[in-house]
Structure 1
């Protein structure tokens, strides 16, 4: 039996870096969680313990800190591209660098005072190799709710089905979305704001007969309004709101009082891309 080494990578996960820009009395704040994964000619360290081609993960962590100071952070996509390009260009053994970033938002309270924002988390994943550069931006935990204009009926049923059909329900989800840019050069902040606005608008304006229909409407809206986006991938957990039976207390409940169930939950996932395009799995 022949045994060989398969695909592999290594890196430093979840380096937390906070950068304060002190230009005068009004400060700016960037708060990131950065993960690096490197791949290339690394068979030696696996097969014989030869570490000649291995850039220590501690060095990768230090590079994140040094780049935050030397170049600033700016938009997370810019920072990720700068790091990924550096690792590929500076290490002969490394053929691919992937940098994944979560950016945590802070709300300004004063010139140098901030409050951690409880909203969604902005994300990006940057991949650089000999074939090109790919930038996938995204967000997680964008919590949205429609209190009506949502139905669910006409579905398949079997002997285990107990869910009643409904023509009026609460539709709630915590959106996780990732979108592939057609280029690695653009106004990242404007693009992020535009995509987020399109996702929210589609959720608000879609009369939903299923969460799957809402997912497609959200992805379609992004591609219609943002020509710089090539593909959108969405994961929408169905945050079930179950009507409480108040009849034991002599009370009616015409879709007014619910219990928010955190688990189990339906999970709807899908991608929306331009006609004729092929999914770019490696970028995601």
Structure 2
């Protein structure tokens, strides 16, 4: 296998699950279904019947806010820890399920490019705005508009699957993983962004810590608890953080007004980085 980072090309038709072949500027299956490659390099494999809304996933504004926030390095320790965990294995096929605008994956691939690694990489998100933003920045990846509920990849084709602040669909994750594959997840802990929550909510309820996947289906192979604080130095940075999270829509008008008045804020990061393997393979 040629060393380097390459797009993962084993795609499946989202309508009949048969293999797709790239012909010119479109992916086609034997049943005649065709999916054009956008000029930015991604392909939309999310059929209308699999959409829950006209424009599912993160909005254009949310994607832009997340890109602005992450570019300032506030979550770089998370990206570093994730890259280290991925690259401690001889992963050859990698899927980022819920890739957003690609921040964590780009960081990982930049690290991988420094070594003699062979990686074939796919990334999907249900938000076309997220995939569009990601594809504009990196051509090393097979970018897909698709859903975790219907992953357009063959069964047992992926070595490492990433789910970073995402929504796991355990049956699909288990299906696409190879027998010795692994699932890496980043999830918020109970104190994640606690200071922001106390600003925008009248009451903050502490949720019990629990594993993000079923314990009878997955074995926890390793876990890391990352916690640190950082300072948001401006009103703009605070608003970017708020806009990129679900908290903006959950907060009351009064809570949003309190956040609007802030010019700086110290915030806690509290996340878990966990590695799972299918229980059936242990």
TM-score greater than 0.5 by the shorter chain: no
State the TM-score, normalized to the length of structure 2.
Answer: 0.26
Structure having the higher strand fraction is 1
Structure having the higher helix fraction is: 2
Structure index of larger Rg = 1
